């Protein structure tokens, strides 16, 4: 899965507010020239979901479509980020996700199925900016 | 750079309240900023009736984002090399969430200083909700 993520200082500001980061730098960089490295919250790349055509939970209407809303049996178990290069104002970062490892484990509520997703965010120049590793878990059934 | 870098001694502990009496509106604000309207976060009847939760729950990435904001308030923006962890329990409306960051490693080198922070985020009721670590670097040249 791959798509383009337009990097915008306004979106960084809105995301920062939502996670309680009130550093004035986010307002100061609203008029950043295209190509300027942006300060973004460490988990900001999560907001690329807005542009993920395969997302079932990004904002859209009507929200009553059968495949909207995500599932109740999947849980976000782990999340890890590695940071390499800053994202830059006005660029189209490329986002590519690939499946990682899968494994199972017996939990209190039954068999748990874990799966990794590795997502890389690259600058418009192709440099790796952020690598994200998500571990999701699904309750398969009772023991 | 922040005052944190003046004395990053192993064992030093920093604590902050990330959010008090979490509101559903705050969860919705994060959903909008992140582009994640999974119904378990924003739709009470779905969360209770289909997901079997006592109420809507905050996104794990919301909790992680709040934690990240605290970490960057310590080490400064752009200092993180890695940040990650595990989601151990959901956060609910009404919860007050506190984070403790402890310096677990601190090294100085000619090219700068590096610290590892062990982070533990919990409700005031004592439920650990996120546990992870952050690796931060302060280049010597950025004084």
Q: What is the pLDDT of residues B87-101, one digit of tens each?
A: 999 999 999 999 999
User: Which residue out of A20, A53, A119 would a mutagenesis test of the B interface target, given it has the greatest number of B Cβ atoms within 10 Å?
Assistant: A20
- Read off the pLDDT of residues A42-75 as tens digits, 9 standing for 90 and up: 999 999 999 999 888 888 766 666 667 777 778 8
| Dihedrals phi, psi of B67, to nearest 5 degrees | -65, -40
For residue A15, is pLDDT > 80?
yes
Q: What is the pLDDT of residue B142?
A: 47
Residue A20's domain comprises: 2-141
Across the beta sheet with B112-123, the strand order is: A2-6, A92-107, A110-122, A128-141, A74-83, B80-87, B128-139, B112-123, B97-109, B13-19
Q: What is the pLDDT of residue B143?
A: 46
Domain CATH for A126: 3.10.129.10
- Chain A to chain B Cβ contacts (< 8 Å): 128
Q: Name the CATH code of domain B3-142 (choices 3.10.129.10, 3.20.20.105, 3.40.50.150, 3.50.50.60).
A: 3.10.129.10
CB A79: neighbour CB atoms within 10 A?
22
Question: Which chain B residues are Cβ-neighbours of A52 within 8 angstroms?
Answer: 35
Q: Where are the alpha helices (DSSP H) in chain A?
A: 9-18, 25-28
How do the domains of chain B map onto residue ranges? 3-142
- Read off the pLDDT of residues B58-87 as tens digits, 9 standing for 90 and up: 999 999 999 999 999 999 999 999 999 999
* Polymer length in residues for chain A: 143
Would you call B107 an interface residue with chain A, using a CB distance cutoff of 8 Å?
Answer: no
For chain A, give the percent of residues with pLDDT over 70.
Answer: 92
Contact B77 A39 (CB under 8 A): yes
What is the domain count for chain A? Answer: 1
Q: What is the pLDDT of residue A142?
A: 64
For residue A143, is pLDDT > 80?
no
Helical axes B24-34 vs A9-18, angle rounded to 10°: 150
Q: Which residue of A has its CA nearest to B52?
A: A72
Q: What is the pLDDT of residue A56?
A: 83
- What is the mean pLDDT of the segment spanning B125-141? 93
């Amino acid at each position: 899965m791959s798509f383009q993520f337009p990097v915008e200082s306004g979106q960084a500001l809105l995301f920062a507010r939502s996670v309680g980061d009130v550093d004035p730098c986010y307002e100061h960089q609203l008029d950043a020239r295209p190509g300027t490295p942006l300060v973004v919250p460490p988990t900001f790349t999560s907001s690329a979901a807005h542009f993920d055509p395969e997302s079932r939970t990004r904002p859209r209407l009507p929200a009553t479509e059968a495949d909207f809303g995500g599932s109740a049996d999947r849980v976000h178990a782990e999340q890890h980020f590695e940071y390499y290069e800053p994202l830059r104002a006005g660029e189209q970062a490329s986002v590519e996700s690939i499946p990682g490892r899968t494994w199972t484990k017996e939990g209190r509520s039954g068999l748990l199925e874990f799966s990794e997703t590795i997502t890389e965010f690259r600058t418009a120049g192709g440099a790796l900016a952020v690598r994200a590793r998500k571990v999701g878990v699904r309750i398969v059934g009772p023991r | 750079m922040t005052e944190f870098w003046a004395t990053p001694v192993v064992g030093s502990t920093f604590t902050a309240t990330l959010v008090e009496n979490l509101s559903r509106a705050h969860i919705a604000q994060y959903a909008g900023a992140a582009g994640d309207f999974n119904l378990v976060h924003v739709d009470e009847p779905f969360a209770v009736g289909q997901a079997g939760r006592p109420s809507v729950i905050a996104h794990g990435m919301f909790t992680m984002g709040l934690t990240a904001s605290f970490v960057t308030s310590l080490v400064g923006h752009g200092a993180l090399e890695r940040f990650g962890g595990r989601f151990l329990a959901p956060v609910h409306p009404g919860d007050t969430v506190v984070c403790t960051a402890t310096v677990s490693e601190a090294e100085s080198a000619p090219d700068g200083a590096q610290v590892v922070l062990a982070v533990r985020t919990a409700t005031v009721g004592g439920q650990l909700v996120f546990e992870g670590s952050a690796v931060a670097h302060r280049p010597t040249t950025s004084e």
